[in-house]
Amino acid sequence: MTGRIIQTTGSWYQVLVDGKIITARLKGKFKLDRFDTTNPIAVGDYVSLETTERHEYVINEIHERNNYIIRQSPRNKHQRHIIASNIDIALLIVTISQPRTSLGFIDRFIAAAESFHIPVKIVLNKIDILKEKEREQVEYLQLVYNSLGYDVICSSTITKEGIDTIQNTLTNKTTLVAGHSGVGKSTLLNVINPELNLKTNKISEKWSKGMHTTTFATMFQLMENTFIIDTPGIKEFMMLHVEPEEVSGYFKEIRQFAKDCQFNNCLHQNEPNCAVKTAVEALKIAATRYENYLNIIENIKDINYWERK
């Protein structure tokens, strides 16, 4: 019997099998020390099951993943946690305000998705509440990210702007929906499919940040062959699985110019004859993207330093 994990809660797993949801546990032969992550099974995994003498379902095989995306473990900053697997596309939900999504977060998420060959589209939500000056930031996001092949979809659950485009994006795919708490992921998904009835919450007025409403990543079936994976609000996103010299490969424009650098192992920091720095000065690479690239490099160096201690 084969199914797909739709939710993990502790030692029990919700598995979708032929349109029905069953509860299963992991067979005893699996040991956590076989895995380099905190969770051996993730939402989106395909698994094989068998029944016990007590008529319980147990997972006896985890099928090979096409891809997956990870984050820092919320319990141990030196360990990795798989958010979800077997993803066709990622929708990164961001907002200019209430709450503000930083460009650093956007670029870290995109770089991580690139490293696992997961296409990304950016949904700029709550477009209806923006003031005139804030709309300049919308134009900047569209200019920078559209030019790199990352579609920026403006959306509003109030005016319904962008809803049809998002629905068309989801069809016949497994889509990871990610973003900070409070950007309106659950509200947006409820508008797309009211039957989901996902729990929503208001923004904290004191901190202008979202309050967590999604505790575990959960996969929902919208229609045949169409799945969404709703994820917990992610405060930070760090790349824990790469070396500093690999990062430029996950920034499309930096990868393009890096071929012309004098040194093959150029990190595009202080090296001489760096084509990437020249491109930044010539405005061929957005300064914000370059700065966020450098921040990721330094973050990885810090992580590697403490792991060697």
**Please, is 168 exposed, middle or buried when counting C-beta atoms within 10 Å of its C-beta (0-12, 13-18, 19+)?**
exposed
For residue 206, name the pLDDT band (cuts at 50, 70, 90). Answer: very low
pLDDT of residue 30: 62
Nearby residues of 22 by Cβ (< 8 Å), 6 or more positions away: 3, 14, 15, 49, 57
Q: What are the backbone dihedrals phi and psi of residue 291, each rounded to the nearest 5 degrees, phi first? A: -60, -40
- The larger pLDDT score, comparing residue 27 to residue 169, is at 169
- For domain 2-62, the CATH class is mainly beta
Domain with CATH 2.40.50.140 in the chain: 2-62
CATH of domain 244-308: 1.10.40.50
pLDDT of residue 222: 86
- The larger pLDDT score, comparing residue 302 to residue 122, is at 122
Average pLDDT over residues 23-41: 71
Domain with CATH 1.10.40.50 in the chain: 244-308
Q: 68-230, what's its fold?
A: Rossmann fold (3.40.50)
How far apart are alpha carbons 120 and 268 in whole angstroms? 25
How far apart are alpha carbons 213 and 28 in whole angstroms? 32
Domain with CATH 3.40.50.300 in the chain: 68-230
- The larger pLDDT score, comparing residue 278 to residue 308, is at 278
Average pLDDT over residues 56-85: 81
% of the chain beyond a pLDDT of 70: 84
pLDDT of residue 38: 72
Total Cβ atoms within 10 A of residue 100? 16
> Is 204 a residue whose pLDDT tops 60?
no
- The larger pLDDT score, comparing residue 215 to residue 130, is at 130
> Is 112 a residue whose pLDDT tops 70?
yes
